[in-house]
Amino acid sequence: MKIPRHVAIIMDGNGRWAEQRGLPRSAGHRAGADAVSRGLAIAQEFGVEILTLYAFSTENWKRPAAEVGALMGLLVEFLTAKMPEMHRNGVRLRTVGRSSGLPEAARTALLNAVSASAGNGTITLNLALNYGGRAEIADAASRIAADAAAGKLDPGKVDEAVFAKYLYAPDLPDPDLLIRTSGEMRLSNFLLWESAYTELYVTDCLWPDFDRAEFEKALASYAGRDRRFGNHA
Ligand code: IPE
Ligand code: IPE
Ligand code: MG
């Protein structure tokens, strides 16, 4: 089976999963964190090189403070509990997004885990946190303008390849497959630049229920796609 090198996932549906069970939304997020560990193991087993997970968007700050706090707490808990095992399994942790805008405890736990796992190379787990596709493009434009003003960059030389070097993770290839759980047919500001030619897969499965069978269905769908990149068939 043709395996995507880079899989990106919009992990949606934690709230609905909890509501269906009469549980608080935070219980859905906790179940969602377990699905992250499971998904990572499956991706690794299938030989996916990069798994990018949308964990918190620049718009998610609009949620009630208690829910935001629960999500940030879960992030710290996840990193503390899972990093030793991920490290043993050769997982390299990275992050994209405005990490400077995260609460202190989350930022510290995240950046420590990123630097501690920098030498690993089996699979890259790229967590999108305080991430927005428009923010990423705006941040790139701002740094390009600064370099141009400082005389380090010729404005006439800014093309797609130069622009892409100013994105959050210029060394990572674009995602081959983008999965969204819980049925919503939208990108919600995820990887706007990078997903120009990414294959999309939407499943009604809620993120906490996303298991091996669901992952395999997404991979099988990808394997059957005809990627053209604007070329003829
Ligand atoms: C996704 O689940 C998790 C995050 C956005 C952090 P939601 O919390 O969006 O779940 P639904 O969409 O309300 O079901
Ligand atoms: C996208 O889900 C963000 C993450 C999964 C982190 P949302 O639940 O925030 O997106 P919308 O509001 O349904 O578009
Ligand atoms: Mg949602």
Give me the DSSP letters along the chain: -PPPSEEEEE---HHHHHHHTT--HHHHHHHHHHHHHHHHHHHHHHT-SEEEEEEEETTGGGS-HHHHHHHHHHHHHHHHHHHHHHHHTTEEEEEES-GGGS-HHHHHHHHHHHHHTTT--SEEEEEEEEE-HHHHHHHHHHHHHHHHHTTSS-GGG--HHHHHTTSS-TTSPPPSEEEE-SS--S-TTSSTTTTTTPEEEE-SS-GGG--HHHHHHHHHHHHT----TTS--
Q: Who lines ligand 2 at CB under 6 A?
A: 10-12, 54-57, 60, 184, 186, 188
Cα(216)–Cα(225) distance, integer angstroms: 14
Q: What is the mean pLDDT of the chain?
A: 98
From 9, 12, 181, 187, mutation site for ligand 2 pocket: most ligand atoms within 8 A of C-beta: 12
Question: How many helices (DSSP H) and strands (DSSP E) are in the chain?
Answer: 7, 6
> Is 60 a catalytic site residue?
yes
Does the pLDDT value for residue 164 go beyond 80?
yes
> pLDDT-derived band of residue 209, with 50, 70 and 90 as boundaries?
very high
> pLDDT-derived band of residue 136, with 50, 70 and 90 as boundaries?
very high
- Cα 18–Cα 24–Cα 25 angle in degrees, nearest 5: 65
Q: Give the number of whichever ligand sits closest to the CA of residue 71.
A: 1
Give the rounded percent of residues in the chain with a pLDDT score beyond 70.
100
Nearest CA to ligand 1 atom 1: 12
- Residue 76 CA: distances (Å) to CA of 73, 85, 99: 5, 15, 13
Does the pLDDT value for residue 184 go beyond 90?
yes
Give the pLDDT of residue 232: 83
φ, ψ (nearest 5 deg) of residue 7: -110, 130
Give the pLDDT of residue 196: 98
Nearest CA to ligand 2 atom 1: 188
- Residue 211 CA: distances (Å) to CA of 3, 205, 208, 221, 222: 17, 9, 8, 16, 17
Catalytic one among 34, 60, 154, 231? 60
Give the pLDDT of residue 182: 98
- 51-103 pLDDT, tens digit each: 999 999 999 999 999 999 999 999 999 999 999 999 999 999 999 999 999 99
Q: Name all domains of the chain by residue range, CATH numbers in brackets.
A: 6-132+175-223 (3.40.1180.10)
Note whether 119 and 90 are within 8 A (CB).
no
Note whether 29 and 70 are within 8 A (CB).
yes
60 lines ligand 1 (CB under 6 A): yes
Does the pLDDT value for residue 11 go beyond 80?
yes
From 10, 17, 102, 189, mutation site for ligand 2 pocket: most ligand atoms within 8 A of C-beta: 10
- The pLDDT of 148-160, averaged and rounded, is 98
Cα(167)–Cα(194) distance, integer angstroms: 9
